[in-house]
Structure 1
């Protein structure tokens, strides 16, 4: 366990209880659907076998957290500590942990890898069967929680629950990163940046000279723009109804941006006309079923590929004529860019440290952790790209 004098000063608000293995700290607890975040004092149990406890330093506010707060995801249980995009420092380790030691800088993984299941041993996917099964319960692998508040069990979110000063995750749900990395910026690599950037470079495999369109210019969409540029796309069209995002999109690589509300025609008709029949690659980063259909129809009828990146509500479906795929169109889905994040995230952090990718440009707001509700107001009003909360 790290001595208190070696933990960043911001963490001194946390204190040990009479049991030195239990930590009492602040966390943003959501007590029910659509309830505002409540900064509470929670008890964080020590890590058990193959688990680690992390002192969080920074966490981003992602649209998926907003879905979780609103009960739109199947794995939202209440009361819950949300958050899944963050970075911190290992505080203590449980029995059997070999990959980490106290003091390591880490990024928690909302898509863990056990390394042993049939999916982890198949290069075609980055999904882990073991982690996917456990994730739906909002509890640790042993069926219990490491968080309590006011005598009540608190559920976790996507294995991580980064809206807490201290968190406990399984060893398979974290990856070690460069110890010199600034944790406020690289926290985005835990989800938003990796999701969009990987969708372009890994899932779609955008080729040099190609044409691309990105629906939704939030953090994920802008990361997709960055990925398309890195891949050498000749034309990258950003699509969003919020024109305030256009300047940053162009700075990051978009060759032009359009607002669907500026046209009498459908956005798919506009894009088809602009590109002479449709685009090579289209990325849907909104999570809206209507824009998913529009994105598919915007791809070239003979060889276009559409990648669905956005997360829709759990009960929504899309309806589309299957004949649209007969001539060669393709559709793919992408979660965290289709990347094995345990290995990919450290490499992306290194790329950031070497100034090959500028993740920091996606951070528009930095707020103290206790202002989490303000951060969500910025997200919901479209005034932020990514807000990072600092503990």
Structure 2
């Protein structure tokens, strides 16, 4: 069984060998946006001969696809198929941002802005959390113990990030990891907090190295170190109904949607 990914790991380039990043130089992230293989070719076409392009090197919303071997990861068959699909993108992005990028120590407190698949992926690490939400319906299916970790995103967090709390304000050690900020978002940054040792970093796929780290996450799922991933699955659709998924994900109760072939 294999899992397709949108980042690669050749294991030989300077970046892959460094252990400092998950961005491969042999198969750079920019190559995923061309819609073509690394050699500039496409391996599929319509019956009429029109060239077909892939999406982010994997095109997972198709019944058949051709993928460069460096963009797939072999995993053990003991993991549930829905869980395997979760770890190939959203879940691992949040999990990895805490595990690989922030390198948060056990018992630390992490503020997570957002209760989607990425944000909820963080909660599977042995940490203390403060989650934020914008819509009450996000909380309808939450367990009471989980509700105690959640606050509404309002003036409380404005105060916390302005120096009243203990999350990212610590000089020399505070760090903010940015994930999925969109393509048309800009913001002004006050550099004074950065001058005192705090850090801000954008992360791709949570810093997860696909060949090295995804099998580790799969192992944690099989051994129940990562448990209850079924909680992330909120909807299921057939492939022919895939267009409806976009509306589902716009709603507050849409976390992960499983597409059945």
- If you compute each CA radius of gyration, which structure gives the higher value, 1 or 2? 1
Is the CA contact 2:2–2:73 (under 8 Å) kept in the aligned structure 1? yes
Cross-structure match for 1:175: 73
Cross-structure match for 2:165: 278
Match of 1:158 among 56, 81, 86: 56
- Match of 1:131, SS? coil
Q: Displacement of 1:240 after TM fit? A: 1.6
Over 3 Å counting, the alpha-carbon distance change for 1:155 and 1:377 in structure 2 is same
Cross-structure match for 2:31: 134
1-structure distance, mates of 2:161, 2:13? 43
1-structure distance, mates of 2:179, 2:80? 27
Match of 1:241 among 124, 127, 134: 134
Cross-structure match for 2:158: 268
1:386 paired with 2:243, answer no
Is the CA contact 2:6–2:32 (under 8 Å) kept in the aligned structure 1? no
- Match of 1:306, SS? strand
Over 3 Å counting, the alpha-carbon distance change for 1:153 and 1:249 in structure 2 is farther
Of the two structures, which has the highest relative contact order with CA contacts closer than 8 Å and spacing of 6 or more?
2
Is the CA contact 2:138–2:252 (under 8 Å) kept in the aligned structure 1? no
Cross-structure match for 2:230: 360
Q: Displacement of 1:250 after TM fit? A: 5.5
Cross-structure match for 1:304: 174
Q: Displacement of 1:217 after TM fit? A: 0.8
Q: Displacement of 1:210 after TM fit? A: 2.2
Is the CA contact 1:225–1:249 (under 8 Å) kept in the aligned structure 2? no
2-structure distance, mates of 1:157, 1:348? 24
2-structure distance, mates of 1:322, 1:255? 33
2-structure distance, mates of 1:374, 1:312? 21
1:347-371 deviation per Cα after TM superposition (whole angstroms, max 9, x unaligned): 2112112221132221111111111
2-structure distance, mates of 1:158, 1:279? 38
2-structure distance, mates of 1:331, 1:239? 19
Cross-structure match for 1:120: 16
Q: How many residues align?
A: 257
2-structure distance, mates of 1:145, 1:333? 31
Over 3 Å counting, the alpha-carbon distance change for 1:247 and 1:197 in structure 2 is farther
Unaligned runs of 5+ in 2: none
1:327 paired with 2:196, answer yes
1:375 paired with 2:245, answer yes
Structure in which a larger fraction of residues adopt strand: 1
Is the CA contact 1:213–1:279 (under 8 Å) kept in the aligned structure 2? no
Cross-structure match for 1:341: 210
Q: Displacement of 1:141 after TM fit? A: 1.8
Cross-structure match for 1:149: 46
Q: Displacement of 1:162 after TM fit? A: 0.2
